[in-house]
Structure 1
Amino acid sequence: MPNGTANTKGTIRVLQLYPREMNIYGDWGNVLVLKQRLSWHGYTPEILEHNAGDPFPSDVDLIIGGGGQDSGQLVIQEDLQALAPTLRGLAEENLPMLLICGLYQLFGNFFRTQNGSVIPGIGVLDLETHGGEKRLIGNVVATSPEFGDIHGYENHSGQTFLGPELAPLATVTKGEGNNATDEHEGARYRNIVASYLHGSLLPKNPAIADFLIRKAVERKFGSFDPGVIDDSLAEAARRHAATRPR
């Protein structure tokens, strides 16, 4: 941990999307990691929530969204569509976002369920998702040129396929990732990190957490003044995760 860093560098507002419906796989842990690491870096975290029907905050610095059941996606659908222009604009303005599982899918073009019904996405990411008969479950290790090895746990039946211009987050070395065919995991667009990985993702992957924090701080204040963080526990968790069976 940092040596006595005071929270005097400024406030970063972190908005969690739909925590009531889209937070069934421990995604709240990602919010807690961002909150703690912002403090360790010397910034003041302010955690906000947006649920269906709430007014959308006018000034946020980082957005995080989690996973949920298909029923949860239907609950938020109308509200998310109403926010689509705002969220697309923020993405194009390089606001950092972390999108996990269900909201990863809904930030794409559509989700076609197994029974053929279509849940429209909001088109921030050029991808489509199709409900599959097989559920993809288990530990995942994926390698990224930007973040190194990424460790997590997947549990999804949706099979996501990226458009030709959308880069994957990582290449899977253990597990399935986006689908059962192309060895891609997640997606990267501007300052958006999207992934199927739970567990939660950020405790075992501090490089991703710090990327999101750095981009939020640079976007707001022009430069990032990091603290010194002891990540030995996270590194121990990563080593252990790498030994786990699929």
Structure 2
Amino acid sequence: MTQEASENKGTIRVVQLYPRDMNIYGDWGNALVLKRRIAWHGYTPELLEYNVGDDFPEDVDVIVGGGGQDSGQLVIQADLLSRGSTLQELAEDGTPMLLICGMYQLFGRFFKTRTGSVIPGIGVLDVETHGTDERLIGNVKVESEEFGEILGYENHSGQTTLGPGIRALGTTAKGTGNNSSDGQEGARYKNIVASYLHGSLLPKNPAIADFLISTAVERKYGSFTAGAPDDRFAVLAREHAGRRPR
């Protein structure tokens, strides 16, 4: 079994946004995977939480945000808007980020509920989301040129469309993704990976986890030297997830 490297190559700080209110369908697992894989690669992980009213951490290397109910989005809305300029600066500077479901929506321009209420986003991503009566739910398989086959689970009624300044994470081979019409899933901008896929996402998709880690390390230390992560369980999880029906 792969052991964590004895040599410490440096510290990587992972900040989880609003885990108290935006943590559904196992999204906490994404932060735990990053913590484990950072250590496997020989670096020291520092996992921090940011919730409503906290002081925003300094020296951020990776940002992770999960999904939540509409009620959770309303709880964090004002605080997120107050941190919008900070998060925009980090994004434009190339900070790697993983944004899942509700956080994906709120990093866009707005979320318009099916009743017509508008929840403004912070505009990091050129996307907009409209709530509908249609529930997009089930297992998803995405084909990505960058990360290969991505596996996960979606459960959302918001339908997201991408603007011209952003590209999709991939195309859906099984499932729906961003909306029920264009066959696209998620979004890529700078070093941001945004997706509707829960499950949680990273345990079954270590290529995305290692992209976030290697990018963070290269930005902080100039180069990345990979360790030897133990991917046995990730391989098994992918095999099982790939066989599941929609």
Counterparts of 1:1-20 in structure 2 under 5 Å? Answer: 1-3=1-3, 5-20=5-20
1:151 aligns with 2:154: no
Residue 232, structure 1, aligned to residue 222, structure 2: no
**Normalization by structure 2: what TM-score?**
0.98
Which residue is 2:222 aligned to? 222
Consecutive unaligned residues in structure 1, runs of 5 or more: none
How far residue 194 of structure 1 moved from its aligned partner, in angstroms, is 0.2
CA distance in 1, matches of 2:4, 2:223: 21
Per the TM alignment, residue 37 of structure 1 is displaced from its structure 2 partner at its CA by 0.3
The corresponding residue for 2:93 is 93
Listed one character per residue, the Cα deviations across residues 202-231 of structure 1 (whole Å, up to 9, x for unaligned) are 000000000000001001100001101231
2:188 corresponds in structure 1 to 188
Q: Which residue of 1 aligns with 2:47?
A: 47
Please say if residues 2 and 41 of structure 1, whose CA atoms lie closer than 8 Å, have aligned partners that are also in contact. no
The aligned residue for residue 172 of structure 1 is: 172
C-alpha distance in 1 between matches for 2:39 and 2:85: 31
Whole-angstrom CA distance in 2 between matches of 1:140 and 1:113: 24
Q: Distance between the aligned counterparts of 1:131 and 1:4, measured in 2?
A: 44
Q: Distance in 2 between matches of 1:136 and 1:233?
A: 28
Specify the alignment match of 1:209 in structure 2.
209
Secondary structure of residue in 2 paired with 1:115: coil
Secondary structure of 1:88's aligned partner: helix
Aligned to 2:115: 115
Whole-Å Cα distance in 1 between the matches of residues 2 and 225 of structure 2? 13
Q: What is the distance in 1 between the residues matched to 2:47 and 2:129?
A: 30
CA distance in 2 between partners of 1:81 and 1:29 (Å): 25
After the TM superposition, which residues 24-103 of structure 1 pair with which residues of structure 2 at under 5 Å, given as runs? Answer: 24-103=24-103
| Inter-CA distance 22–7: structure 2 relative to 1 (3 Å threshold) | farther
* Alpha-carbon contact 2:139-2:175 (below 8 Å) kept: yes
Runs of 5+ consecutive residues of structure 2 not aligned to the other structure: none
Count of matched residue positions in the alignment of Structure 1 and Structure 2 = 246
| Aligned counterparts of 2:62 and 2:6: Cα–Cα separation in 1 | 21
- Report SS of the residue matched to 1:161: strand
* Residues in 2 aligned to 1:19 and 1:69: alpha-carbon distance in whole angstroms: 13
When the two chains are superposed, the root-mean-square deviation of aligned CA atoms in Å is 0.9
Percent sequence identity over aligned pairs: 70
Partner Cα distance (1:161, 1:168) in 2: 10
Runs (4+) of structure 1 exceeding 3 A deviation are 1-4
TM-score by length of 1: 0.98
